[in-house]
Structure 1
Amino acid sequence: MTEFGYFLSCEEFGPADLIEQASMAQDAGFRSLWISDHYHPWNDAQGQSPFVWSVIGALSQSCDLPVETAVTCPTVRLHPALVAQAAATSQVMLNGRFRLGLGSGEALNEHILGDSWPAADVRLDMLEEAVEVIRLLFTGEQVSHRGAHYTVENARLYTVPDTPPPIDISAFGPKAAELASRIADGFVTTAPDRELIDAFRGDDPTRPVAAATKVCWSRDRDEAVRTAHRLWPTEHLPGELNQILPTPRHFEQASELVTEETVGAAVPCGPDPEEHVRRLREYVDAGVDRVHIGQMGPEQRGFFDFYRTEVLPLLDGAGAQDGDGTGGPGRPGRTDTER
């Protein structure tokens, strides 16, 4: 049965706003939280990018919802040994309510230390080795590892949870879905793609799948479309651009090709609950277990009131909120990076 959570956008909101949104999400009946892990926003209009692990620490003290990174790249900007420490501490602070969502990343966030941005197949190979390192460190034993991409020497995590956090892998194409099926506990995506979901699950239909989508609630639909177009035109860029463009300015240049009409046709905007429900049912019909909804723009309180009173009740027939919430940014198009 599908449950519904909220997607906290670190690209668009500062720490205090994110903490407030998490509390409002809990009060509105959402059952879990996704939170993005970025060094840069996609464009300057979004305007934020707090360090996700600090925010997760605050979330552990401000609400009772499960939290998942959506997604962390453990391969270039952050060594997998550091990601393992951050995730283990998050699992301890959240009393077992943390999931570690991982992906192969974007140059936007990962090139900042001057490292070269590897080819797609290399990035997936790095991700596989990173997961191996992280799982070894989750044991609490001393780890030494020398692989094709990473070296770990005499490393041991001393703050470890009783149960390691599950590791979910993001994929938007068959190569990454195959990798997720082999090494991940769960699958995360932004597209209601039944073919990829089935490829991940294989012969086990119970393997967990989570997804996210963005909406823009406002009493005025035209204003909502303008807000979505101003803040998130990058959601509609084709192909591999989201993986290879290096700076917010490059995304702004590419986004000049995205029109308000394109956004209005693709994004649930405005005050009609059926428009929002139709989009969410696409994920339910695709077999997604947890769907996280992110509200674009400043009208957060109105969004939560709208979903609490008008949208989530319409989804009861889809099994909304039947789970216990313990069950992860990206874009809908398939890319070379995530094949």
Structure 2
Amino acid sequence: MTRFGYTLMTEQSGPRELVRYAQQAEDIGFDFEVSSDHYSPWLVSQGHAPYAWSVLGAVAHATSRVDLMTYVTCPTMRYHPAVVAQKSATIQELSEGRFTLGLGAGESLNEHVVGEGWPGVDQRQDMLVEAIEIIRALHTGDLVTYDGAYFRVDSARVWDAPEGGVPLGVAVSGGSSLSKFAPLGDHMIAVQPEADLVTGWDQERQDATAPQGGSRKIGQVPISWDPDKDAAIARAHDQFRWFGGGWAVNADLPTPAGFEAASQFVRPEDVASSIPCGPDLDELAEGVRPFLDAGFTDVAIVQIGDEKQQQFLDEVAGPLLEKLRAL
């Protein structure tokens, strides 16, 4: 049965609000919660970017049942992989085993801030391979020294390493990333509902003799609920029109101003054609169906806009969750 999650969208809400939403989403019955990990919002109108790991620590303490996950963390530029290994192990301990570390090759928007430039995609993927190797090694609790092409680790140990480590989800988008990351990750993350990614992930893991079974395929769907459909479309256009740029564009633009410029000609009707908007819960639920048809096991919902988040949770999330499970 498909599991449905709630997205803690750090780009559109402050830290205290996110913790409150996380508590309520658990009470409503969501199966898991994912948190973005950004240094900047996509667009200025979103207006937020708290530190995801502080939020996750508070959420781990404030919840007791719901699974938690980063969607996703880049462990190669802004963070050294040894640091990611330590903080993900800590969240796993705080949450008592409910945490999955979602990893990806990153976006310039968040990673350029440390002043180390922005590598090409092939190099970013090679860096992520090394980072995963380091994180896996450190999660054993053993003393680790690592000398790679991009990263060095000198006599490091994660002293509070959870038993069994931390499950790793890895973001993929095509053949190259599948061949590199399926043998290294436990679970697949993708933002496009493509069945070829699901079958390709399983095939690559089988060919690499990776452990079989229990591999989740985790997607994410934005929606814009509002009693007024026009208001829902306007809000989605104002805060989420960057979404249509695609991974290749979204990975390389460095600032919210860049996303403003790149999306200036995107029309409200363009956004409405790709993001379910309005009060019709059946229509919103149907927006998830392509992921179900593609074979995804987990789908996280993003309700666009902090200004409607509380009303969404109070009035809509429960009935919507029922409709999603009925699919």
The normalised TM-score by structure 1 is 0.91
Alignment partner of 1:51 is 2:55: no
- Is the 1:217–1:302 contact (alpha carbons within 8 Å) kept by the matching residues of 2? no
Deviation by residue 1:39-76 (Cα, 9 ceiling, x = unmatched): 11111111111111100110011112111000000011
Deviation by residue 1:242-270 (Cα, 9 ceiling, x = unmatched): 11111111111111021101011111111
1:52-131 correspondence to structure 2 within 5 Å? 52-64=52-64, 65-131=66-132
How many residues are treated as equivalent by the alignment? 317
Equivalent position amino acid for 1:182 in 2: P
Equivalent position amino acid for 2:94 in 1: M
**3-state SS of 1:183 partner:** coil
Q: Tell me what 1:148 maps to.
A: 149
Q: Tell me what 2:209 maps to.
A: none
**3-state SS of 1:182 partner:** coil
Q: Tell me what 2:223 maps to.
A: 215
1:148-187 correspondence to structure 2 within 5 Å? 148-187=149-188
- Is the 1:237–1:258 contact (alpha carbons within 8 Å) kept by the matching residues of 2? no
Structure 1 residue 238: deviation in Å? 4.1
Partner Cα distance (1:151, 1:189) in 2: 29
Q: Tell me what 1:32 maps to.
A: 32
Deviation by residue 1:184-222 (Cα, 9 ceiling, x = unmatched): 000011111111111001255752111111111100011
The structure with higher relative contact order (CA 8 Å, sep 6+) is: 1
Relative to structure 1, the CA distance from residue 262 to residue 97 in structure 2 (aligned partners, 3 Å threshold; closer, same or farther) is: same
Equivalent position amino acid for 2:316 in 1: F
Single out whichever of 205-214 and 269-278 deviates more from structure 2. 205-214
**3-state SS of 1:212 partner:** strand
Q: Tell me what 2:324 maps to.
A: 315
- Is the 1:169–1:186 contact (alpha carbons within 8 Å) kept by the matching residues of 2? yes
Partner Cα distance (1:232, 1:315) in 2: 22
**3-state SS of 1:117 partner:** coil
Structure 1 residue 153: deviation in Å? 0.4
Partner Cα distance (1:293, 1:77) in 2: 27
Relative to structure 1, the CA distance from residue 239 to residue 134 in structure 2 (aligned partners, 3 Å threshold; closer, same or farther) is: closer
Partner Cα distance (1:62, 1:206) in 2: 27
Structure 1 residue 142: deviation in Å? 0.9
Partner Cα distance (1:150, 1:253) in 2: 35
Deviation by residue 1:256-301 (Cα, 9 ceiling, x = unmatched): 0211010111111111012112111221111111110011111113
Q: 1:259 aligns with which of 267, 282, 300?
A: 267
Equivalent position amino acid for 1:307 in 2: A
Partner Cα distance (2:324, 2:73) in 1: 30
**3-state SS of 2:55 partner:** helix
Single out whichever of 170-179 and 253-262 deviates more from structure 2. 170-179
The normalised TM-score by structure 2 is 0.94
Q: Tell me what 1:9 maps to.
A: 9
Partner Cα distance (1:158, 1:266) in 2: 46
**3-state SS of 2:278 partner:** coil
Segments of 5+ residues of structure 2 without an aligned counterpart are: 207-211
- Is the 1:142–1:155 contact (alpha carbons within 8 Å) kept by the matching residues of 2? yes
**3-state SS of 1:302 partner:** helix
Give me the identity figure in percent: 38
**3-state SS of 2:182 partner:** helix
